[in-house]
Chain A
């Protein structure tokens, strides 16, 4: 229903200009305004919340106790702010507005429209790519380790290795993880199961002069046992394991190799 032109300029400005106020809201930039505040970038992870969603009080339930100067902050966010105050106050309200926006964002991105928007950003790799070599640049999703604000900064989830990574850039590392929440990335794959990447069994094998390092290799073999156990459990209930097909061949090779090695070890043990 809402097309993009109706989205409140404040959001666009906030997202595109990284928290810099749009000119028509621009307050006389007093000397007290901290430069780090204005120049703080890193809003690439956020999507634009529909005006409609923001103006529905139901969606904001409970946030009034969470955010200081709630009403002013909300006015600022919804672009109806006309309160004359001093710089310090203004700064406080701006801070609250950012916080409020983040908290609403966490709720918004698990709605149908929010998920769709985040999916587009995910497809464009707006959140970065997995640093793990074997994940072959799998796009990441932002997530929080807690839904409670101010408990931990945003992390990135890789759907291929199902692990969490720290954002590369320090400007992202300061965003509160609660602005994305603990559920969003899992819900996204529940809603769009086709976006789930195939899992890979390929892994790095530490070697010295071509020989596998025993401690690491033993651990890897133990982990493979666990994996096969899981696969058996899944097969028993006739579920797809979700692993890449090419891995099956690879796996057989590995097994052959292991058998040869086992034989060699046995022989060595007998000696």
Chain B
């Protein structure tokens, strides 16, 4: 065994240390070694076995090789009979050459395989926890949008299969996607992060305060500016959401697109006068950054049934309601939507830092996931 793999760092660590690979988490070897996690990848990655060995820094064992070589030898001799140089090379030498020529192919296969495993890993419990630490340290950067007040972003793919789009950044504050500011990320495939990860992340860590956070890290000028903006936007936005609403469609109202809504929409002005919607070049895109002042407007089921008089098919109040209110404060009004309802498990989900022990990331209950 001619082992040279344990000289420095592992393949995974060196891969994640490359320039432009700052968004990657280091997938634990346990995860890769579990065959279940690799289901279906064999057909997507050329030279799968070699790539996997490279990722895990496994040197193929000599005994096996010798057997393989002996078998191969006869075959290859026949194939290469004509081409072979007169000086007959020993089998081991030939193997060495073959590997050298294939090395770049295996290397790129390994990167592809690692990326696809990574996409799965970061939606697993240890993986999402690892990404949460990177998120806290702001490894993924901040939203370029002015009204998002440098909200921290997460990497996202626009496609789950490789070769389509490069990695993008998802901002939870405006629910939009942005191109990373540095061009070095334009070589990273978005599929290595996948479409699911950021949404699942914020479903998992429901207690994160999306809007706030960064200000202490920012430089003094940006800091002052952000505060100024926050003040003006707070002054402008008359938030009419009843204060006892603690969850709308499975999300706390203050975490539902906090960067959108009145005060966070750009108002075009010329010499102080607003540009009318009726002007040919007037504003047309305000809807993109709108958010209802009373978020209970987004409770579609309730609105649907409020529009209909026939009570025959009306479901129970429990099923009718995607709004959670703080208990004890309920009954302020006779409004049906403010009745106390079941508390959803999501709210008791894991707080970041306290460890993601309490809830599985797969738990989408009450977040209006697949089945609603």
Q: B372, A227: Cβ atoms under 8 Å?
A: no
- Give the residues in chain B near A239, CB-CB below 8 Å: 278, 280
The reply on B271 being an interface residue by CB < 8 A is: yes
Residue of A nearest to B228 (CB): A152
Q: B285, A199: Cβ atoms under 8 Å?
A: yes
Q: A166, B269: Cβ atoms under 8 Å?
A: no
Q: A186, B199: Cβ atoms under 8 Å?
A: no
Q: B268, A134: Cβ atoms under 8 Å?
A: no
25 CB < 8 A contacts A-B: A131-B179, A145-B146, A153-B221, A162-B284, A165-B144, A165-B146, A168-B144, A182-B272, A187-B270, A193-B281, A208-B203, A210-B195, A213-B199, A213-B367, A218-B300, A219-B291, A219-B298, A222-B297, A230-B284, A230-B287, A237-B278, A241-B284, A265-B372, A269-B301, A270-B313
Other A-B pairs, 13, CB within 8 Å; known A162-B268, A213-B369: A134-B177, A152-B228, A160-B285, A164-B266, A166-B145, A173-B222, A207-B196, A215-B249, A220-B175, A230-B286, A241-B284, A242-B280, A269-B319
Q: Distance (Å) between the CB of A247 and the closest chain B CB? A: 12
Contact of B364 among A131, A186, A208, A227 (CB under 8 A): A208
Residue of B nearest to A270 (CB): B313
- Give the residues in chain A near B198, CB-CB below 8 Å: 206
Contact of B277 among A157, A209, A234 (CB under 8 A): A234
Fill in one digit per residue for B254-290: 1 if any A CB lies within 8 Å of its CB, else 0: 0011001000001011111001011111011111111
The reply on B12 being an interface residue by CB < 8 A is: no
Instruction: Using C-beta atoms within 8 Å of the partner chain, give the interface range for chain A.
Output: 35 or more
- Give the residues in chain A near B372, CB-CB below 8 Å: 214, 265, 268
Q: A166-B146, A215-B368, A223-B288 are in contact. Are A204 and B175 (CB under 8 A)?
A: yes
Instruction: Using C-beta atoms within 8 Å of the partner chain, give the interface range for chain B.
Output: 35 or more
The reply on B118 being an interface residue by CB < 8 A is: no
Alpha-carbon distance A157/B268, docked complex (angstroms): 10
Residue of A nearest to B274 (CB): A186
List residues of A whose CB falls within 8 A of some B CB.
Answer: 131-134, 145, 152-153, 155, 157, 160-166, 168, 173-174, 182-183, 186-187, 189-190, 193, 196, 199, 203-204, 206-211, 213-216, 218-224, 226-227, 230, 233-234, 237, 239-243, 265, 268-270
Q: Which of A157, A187, A216, A233 has the largest count of B CB atoms less than 10 A from its CB?
A: A216
Contact of A165 among B145, B168, B287 (CB under 8 A): B145
Q: A226, B158: Cβ atoms under 8 Å?
A: no
The reply on B176 being an interface residue by CB < 8 A is: yes
Q: A215, B367: Cβ atoms under 8 Å?
A: yes
Q: A203-B288, A213-B368, A223-B287 are in contact. Are A186 and B170 (CB under 8 A)?
A: no
